[in-house]
Structure 1
């Protein structure tokens, strides 16, 4: 008999952390972008960090109906798993995101 191949790729596809950036992100942009690059390194292949700037994609940013930018939205397969508006405090966001992903895997 042949080994069965999972029909769902849900476990192998990374989640996406959408980082919704305001139009006026230019003043803090270099330091903030460097922190996002460090965050991507911490998350590895489990979560892909995707930056979406309001200036370039206003419809996408506004579709999330956030009251404060930047905003962070963790999504997998079109399902929102977690959201935070405003800047995260300290370096605690990577473990938090990975924990949210594990919780979603247990529920799903």
Structure 2
């Protein structure tokens, strides 16, 4: 599903959390630059909690509309947990809150990872 040219630093069996975000800018489905900064900090903290078990990847709707469309069941923001290109779990909104890292790791463990 993902070529090594797109994600060259990930091992073949790495789990990924695709976080699909609205485009930055004014408008209905767009996020303000301040909100994006907050989101980036949130995702950085989540990545620290997940360590190397799950790699957090941001996917901007404006830059990668085909990827967002492929996973977009109900709109952005949303996130999808994948391993080897297979969807393990998804949820609308942003992956925020202290228990989210534990929940994501448990979903990975349930899938045998």
TM-score normalised to the size of structure 1? 0.80
- In terms of fraction of residues, the more helix-rich structure is 1
Q: Which SS does the other structure have where 2:94 is aligned?
A: coil
CA RMSD of aligned residues (A): 1.6
Distance 2:72 2:51 in 1: 28
Query: Aligned pair 1:26/2:32, yes or no?
Result: yes
What are the residue-to-residue correspondences of 1:7-26 with 2, within 5 Å?
A: 13-23=13-23, 24-26=30-32
Structure 2, unaligned stretches of length 5 or more? 1-11, 24-29
Bigger CA radius of gyration: 1
Q: Which residue of 2 aligns with 1:54?
A: 61
Distance 1:41 1:17, change over 3 A: same
Indicate conservation of the 8 Å contact 2:42/2:96, yes or no: no
Structure 1, unaligned stretches of length 5 or more? 1-11
Q: Which residue of 2 aligns with 1:7?
A: none
| Matched residues, number | 95
**Runs of 4+ deviating beyond 6 Å:** none
Greater shift in the superposed pair: 88-97 or 13-22: 88-97
